[in-house]
């Protein structure tokens, strides 16, 4: 086998491949951040947590037949869908706003109580004492293995929903939570200083991460590579695991698709126009607030999509997003948030630089991106692709 | 950028100082704080109070930047943690006296602040926050690998030593008085900075930076100076904490610590002189009592963040001041 700069070729290419994988996630996440920032002027600090939610959603969908906490999580993730559908349904009925609001809040509170009560520390102990002696209260029984939900799911999806379904459903589920979060929490902040958006989403990220850490611990859950993507290709100079190649290809396709939607379609042109001048676009009769909501939802869905892709590579754990997001922030600063393609190129490029550093000077591999950030800030403060 | 209800919208009147540049209301509040500091060690656990004072100083340092220059630094853990490491290292390995070790901590914080600030002030607003966060993460990775921090274990059993070679700090109460003294010096220093001509320029940068530039102020120099002062004080707070607890660990450099100091200032009231102290007291007390709930503390902190941003932007002290129609 040949050596390149005194480094065995398989090692070099292996690290470049790892760098490409990391770069794929940097690109997908910074793309979502850029899209959200362009439209909402909010830096979405919860992006890492939503990435993690995507990975967990995939795990929940897979193991919902055999694991009671997976069912609980799934029921929680379905809440926003439930609320949005309820809202939509009620909008067709003649009801006063207050009645409609009461119904929505009441029913979602009921839903939330059913799900959340067992999670409250000590409450299950209290309930077990007060309700029946068979261990756990009624709510625990409802979601327990062998309980009615489990049996129902076992009949409909005997093996859970696999990777391919997750790739579609997890972004939808997590995206709807984003839509609800935008309507309830973020939209009141548009008139204020942008930093409040940062602080709020930071808080949301803490909440999400804390809840998942409570429920699933920090050790991580396994998620198998789907059978279709197992194995490795022999490229002649190295072996390439099929799944890793798949991740890179899908990330590139996804980034290009996002770029095409924004640059080449009608809805994308509305989006770009609203980014430039929301008041004018609204004056043309386009529902800008709804566009903002959907944009946030789409950005969050993109993060969740990346999370599903990441689930088989990294173990699914509550911290998987928060450490990544800080590096993605550096990527965003380096690339500048002005251009979509810019953030994609920067993401992949920095992933490769990181991989190469791991070969040539491993001690610096965790800090190299920040060093690049410092250099870029000194030379081009607006970022490589940014507008000043 | 000047959105309605700007980031820390205290009004811009310069009030006449009664004593030490404090207004009457501030003087009363300062008296209350002083009384609490003097009386509390006889009623509360000194270790808890010392932790509170360290974080109050840290939050004051942070508030100098966010409240009076309008710069949100999401990387203050770097200065706090590095100050702690260096103070611990000089006390334990070099055998320096505690007061000198803490000063070294402060100097290291200021030096790091000079480097990071010099690069970070090239961008504003959200970017500034992201850049400081990224640099702090870089410092964290450095601390994970550097030999003198001893990695995951941290620097342990740092000796408290003798203050000026006279007072044995091994006694908790003696240590408390020194901590309280350093906190008060830091607090008054921040107050002095804010009310100096230099501080007025900082506030004008917060309100309208292009205007300040057009009036002939080199705003970048002022911002950098404020950043260095803030970082230096954060380093002092970190150094103090490691001397008090005899341990300096990775927790203090991690981004969660940056988040915590933001939360303290937010809860207490951004841009108020007493806000960070109250905020630190609230958050530290909460952590103390909720420690048994484990990760729920994170959830509660997140909820407080959301609540403060949505409904409670003035913070505790800001709301009280607004209610009494005084500036605190």
Residue among A203, A318, A324 with most chain B CBs within 10 A, to mutate: A203
Average pLDDT over residues B296-323: 90
Tell whether domain B24-324 is in CATH 1.10.3470.
yes
Do residues A302 and A35 make contact, with C-beta atoms less than 8 angstroms apart? Answer: yes
Residue A249 within a domain = yes
Select from A135, A160, A185 the last residue of a domain: A160
Side-chain-facing half-sphere of B222: CA atoms under 13 Å: 25
**Is the CB of A210 less than 8 angstroms away from the CB of B296?**
yes
CA B265 to chain centre: 8
Strand partners, A233: A240
Q: CA of A65, closest CA in chain B: separation in Å?
A: 27
Give residues with Cβ within 8 angstroms of B325, minimum separation 6.
Answer: none
Identify whether residues A232 and A366 lie together within a single domain: yes
Instruction: State chain B's maximal CA–CA distance in angstroms.
Output: 55
**Is the CB of B302 less than 8 angstroms away from the CB of A204?**
yes
Query: Residue A237: helix, strand or coil by DSSP?
Result: coil
CA distances from A111 to A70, A76, A77 (A): 16, 8, 11
| Token couple for B242 | 């490691």
Q: CA of B69, closest CA in chain A: separation in Å?
A: 14
Q: CA of B221, closest CA in chain A: separation in Å?
A: 16
| pLDDT value at residue A121 | 56
User: From B262, which residue of chain A is nearest by alpha-carbon distance?
Assistant: A199
CATH value at residue A253:
1.10.3470
Query: Residue A316: helix, strand or coil by DSSP?
Result: strand
Identify whether residues A191 and A307 lie together within a single domain: yes
Element (DSSP H or E) covering residue B143: helix B125-145
A187-214 tens-digit pLDDT: 988 888 888 999 999 999 999 999 888 8
Neighbours of B69 (CB within 10 A): 26
Query: Residue B294: helix, strand or coil by DSSP?
Result: coil
Q: CA of B119, closest CA in chain A: separation in Å?
A: 7
Residue A284 reports pLDDT greater than 70: yes
| Token couple for A82 | 């439930």
| pLDDT value at residue B190 | 94
Cβ burial, residue A128 (10 Å; 0-12/13-18/19+): middle
Do residues B221 and B264 make contact, with C-beta atoms less than 8 angstroms apart? Answer: no
User: From B139, which residue of chain A is nearest by alpha-carbon distance?
Assistant: A367
CA distance B316 to A150: 47
| pLDDT value at residue B89 | 93
**Is the CB of B298 less than 8 angstroms away from the CB of A206?**
yes
| Residue in A194, A203, A377 nearest the CB of B306 | A203
Select from A160, A179, A208 the last residue of a domain: A160
Specify the length of chain B in residues: 328
Identify whether residues A36 and A91 lie together within a single domain: no
Residue A183 within a domain = yes
Strand partners, B19: B22
Do residues A384 and A336 make contact, with C-beta atoms less than 8 angstroms apart? Answer: yes
Side-chain-facing half-sphere of B194: CA atoms under 13 Å: 31
User: From B258, which residue of chain A is nearest by alpha-carbon distance?
Assistant: A202
Side-chain-facing half-sphere of A329: CA atoms under 13 Å: 28
Select from A112, A141, A160 the last residue of a domain: A160
CA distance A91 to A93: 6
Q: ipTM of this model?
A: 0.89
CA distance A125 to A140: 11
DSSP label of B158: -
Q: CA of B177, closest CA in chain A: separation in Å?
A: 35
Which segment, A294-308, A322-336, B118-132, B159-173, is predicted with the most confidence on average? A294-308
Strand partners, B155: B248
Identify whether residues A85 and A59 lie together within a single domain: no
- CB contacts < 8 A, A to B, total 135
Residue A385 within a domain = no
Indicate the pLDDT class of residue A295, thresholds 50, 70 and 90: very high
Residue A162 reports pLDDT greater than 80: yes
CA distance B51 to B284: 8
Contacts of A333 in chain B (CB under 8 A): 123, 127, 130-131, 134
Indicate the pLDDT class of residue A88, thresholds 50, 70 and 90: confident
**What domain range is A100 assigned to?**
65-160
């Amino acid at each position: 086998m040949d050596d390149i700069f005194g480094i065995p070729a398989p090692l070099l290419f292996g690290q470049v491949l790892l760098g490409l994988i990391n770069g794929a996630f940097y690109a997908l996440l910074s793309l979502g951040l850029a899209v959200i920032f362009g439209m909402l002027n909010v830096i979405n600090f919860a992006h890492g947590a939503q990435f993690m939610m995507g990975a967990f959603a995939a795990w929940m969908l897979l193991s919902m037949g055999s694991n009671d906490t997976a069912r609980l999580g799934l029921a929680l993730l379905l809440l926003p869908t439930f609320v949005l559908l309820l809202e939509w349904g009620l909008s067709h009925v003649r009801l006063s706003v207050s009645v409609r609001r009461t119904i929505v809040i009441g029913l979602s509170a009921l839903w939330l109580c059913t799900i959340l009560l067992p999670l409250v520390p000590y409450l299950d102990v209290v309930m077990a004492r007060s309700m029946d002696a068979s261990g756990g209260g009624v709510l625990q029984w409802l979601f327990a293995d062998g309980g009615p939900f489990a049996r129902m799911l076992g009949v409909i999806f005997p093996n859970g929903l696999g990777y391919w379904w997750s790739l579609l459903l997890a972004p939808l589920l997590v995206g709807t939570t984003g839509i609800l979060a935008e309507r309830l929490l973020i939209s009141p902040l548009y008139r204020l200083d942008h930093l409040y958006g940062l602080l709020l989403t930071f808080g949301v990220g803490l909440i999400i991460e804390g809840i998942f850490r409570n429920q699933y611990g920090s050790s991580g859950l396994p998620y198998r590579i789907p059978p279709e993507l197992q194995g490795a290709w022999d490229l002649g100079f190295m072996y390439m695991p099929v799944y890793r190649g798949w991740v890179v290809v899908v990330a590139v396709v996804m980034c290009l698709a996002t770029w095409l939607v924004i640059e080449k379609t009608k809805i994308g042109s509305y989006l770009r126009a609203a980014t430039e001048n929301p008041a004018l676009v609204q004056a043309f009769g386009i529902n800008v607030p709804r566009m903002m909501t959907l944009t946030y939802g789409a950005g969050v869905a993109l993060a969740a999509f990346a999370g599903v892709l990441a689930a088989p590579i990294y173990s699914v754990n509550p911290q998987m997003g928060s450490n990544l997001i800080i590096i993605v922030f550096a990527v965003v600063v380096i690339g500048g948030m002005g251009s979509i393609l810019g953030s994609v190129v920067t993401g992949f490029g920095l992933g490769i630089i990181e991989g190469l550093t791991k070969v040539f000077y491993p001690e610096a591999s965790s800090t190299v991106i920040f060093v690049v950030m410092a250099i870029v800030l000194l030379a081009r403060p607006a970022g490589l692709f940014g507008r000043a | 950028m000047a959105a309605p209800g700007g980031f820390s919208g205290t009004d811009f009147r310069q009030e006449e100082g009664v004593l030490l540049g404090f207004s009457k209301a501030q003087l009363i509040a300062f008296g209350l704080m002083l009384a609490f500091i003097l009386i509390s060690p006889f009623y509360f656990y000194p270790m808890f109070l010392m932790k509170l004072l360290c974080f109050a100083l840290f939050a004051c340092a942070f508030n100098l930047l966010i409240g009076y220059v309008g710069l949100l630094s999401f990387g203050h853990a770097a200065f706090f943690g590095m100050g702690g490491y260096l103070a611990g290292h000089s006390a334990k390995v070099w055998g320096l006296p505690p007061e000198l070790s803490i000063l070294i901590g402060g100097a290291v914080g200021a030096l790091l602040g000079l480097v990071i600030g010099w690069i970070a002030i090239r961008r504003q607003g959200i970017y500034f926050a992201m850049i400081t966060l990224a640099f702090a993460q870089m410092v964290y990775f450095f601390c994970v690998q550097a030999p003198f921090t001893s990695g995951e274990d941290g620097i342990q059993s740092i000796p408290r030593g003798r203050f000026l070679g006279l007072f044995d700090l091994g006694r908790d109460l003696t240590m408390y008085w020194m901590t309280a003294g350093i906190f008060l010096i830091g607090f008054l220093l921040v107050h002095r900075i804010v009310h100096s001509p230099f501080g007025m320029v900082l506030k004008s940068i917060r309100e309208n930076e292009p205007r300040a530039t057009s009036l002939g102020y080199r705003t970048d120099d002022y911002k950098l100076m404020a950043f260095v002062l803030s970082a230096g004080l954060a380093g002092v707070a970190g150094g103090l904490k490691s001397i008090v607890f005899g341990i300096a660990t990775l927790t203090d450099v991690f981004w969660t610590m940056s988040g915590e100091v933001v939360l303290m200032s937010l809860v207490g009231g951004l841009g108020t002189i007493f806000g960070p102290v109250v905020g630190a007291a609230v958050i530290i007390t909460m952590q103390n009592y909720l420690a048994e709930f484990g990760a729920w503390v994170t959830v509660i902190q997140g909820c407080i963040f959301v609540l403060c941003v949505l409904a409670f932007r003035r913070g505790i002290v800001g709301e009280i001041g607004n209610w009494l129609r005084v500036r605190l």
